Structure 1
Amino acid sequence: MLDSFHLQVLERSMDTAMLRQRTIANNIANVDTPQFKSKHVVFEELLQQELAGTSGQPKLEAYRTNERHIPFTGTGTLPMPQIVSNADNMMQHNGNDVDLEFEMNELAKNQIWYNGLTQLTAGYFQKLRSVIEGGGR
């Protein structure tokens, strides 16, 4: 149960949120650095591609609790988050492309996302604890 797919997705998502936090903080710290090019973290799109597969067939295998459930075909691995440059940002007069308002907005969204992930993870372990203890006798 500790090696479940859902827990792996939560773990990778939390790792991605931490990487995104560091990347956004780096962008903000370099808001006045000449020629600095801002970056962002790509993960959710990669996960969606992995789930959908290139041929439209799912690549990740789902856990089935009943043999009557429809199985997902094929196997796959969770993608790793990637740091990429922001290609569409407008340049400032010094060649820097950091938009401070956008970065602060992304920082707030990422914090909310991370808090949600921690709550989901805590809920997962609370359910596991309930099962181990016999359903709250």
Structure 2
Amino acid sequence: MGIANSTDFLEGGKIMFEKTHFMKTQDLLERGMNNSVFKRKIISDNIANADVPHFKRSEVIFESMIKRAIESEKIEALKEVPTQISDERHISFFKPLDYREVQPKANIDYLTTMRADGNNVDVEKEVVEASNSQMQYMMMTERLNQNYRDLKQVMRMA
């Protein structure tokens, strides 16, 4: 994991630090942490409404969208000939998704029902999801902190 490569320099040797893999990793970790906080709010709402008739649980969609965006960037990078549209009326063959535009979204699950009153909240499942979300948050926090410690160490050596 290099901090900078030859394409990351501006004139005068100034590093465009925000375009490095390090900063992309940090940004993805921060987005993941924000998603975990959002997910915990949605799960809390689901649990709080577990006894409300006809309440439909929500779930957060984020990880799959981020994965799709990153994979689309890889596909674009592997292309030998980049596709460009010369006229806005042309149909694009492939447009890579920018991971920075991906935001967590809450989707309401209208398709399942857990009880006769129409409620579909399974409290045990929600508690497990909350626990998993908390563990993910803690792991991302630790990784983010370790990355900053590594950067601090590199800067001391320079």
TM-score > 0.5 by shorter chain = yes
Alignment-derived partner of residue 42 in structure 2: 23
Superposition TM-score, scaled by structure 2 size = 0.68
Q: Which runs of 5+ in 2 are unaligned?
A: 4-16, 78-95
The residue correspondences of 1:3-82 to structure 2 (distance < 5 A) are 3=18, 4-53=23-72, 57-58=75-76, 76-78=98-100, 79-82=102-105
Larger Rg: 2
Tell me which amino acid in the other structure corresponds to 1:18: V
SS at 2:40's partner residue? helix
Superposition TM-score, scaled by structure 1 size = 0.77
SS at 1:113's partner residue? helix
- In the alignment of these two chains, the number of paired residues is 120
CA distance in 2, matches of 1:108, 1:116: 12
Specify whether residues 75 and 31 from structure 1 end up closer, same or farther in structure 2 by C-alpha distance, changes over 3 A only.
Answer: closer
Tell me which amino acid in the other structure corresponds to 2:45: N
- Please state how far the C-alpha of 1:94 moved relative to its aligned partner: 1.7
- RMSD over aligned CA atoms reads 2.3
Does the CA-based 8 Å contact 1:40-1:83 persist in structure 2?
yes
Q: Which runs of 5+ in 1 are unaligned?
A: 60-73
CA distance in 2, matches of 1:83, 1:7: 24
Identical residues among aligned pairs (%): 25
Alignment-derived partner of residue 125 in structure 2: 102
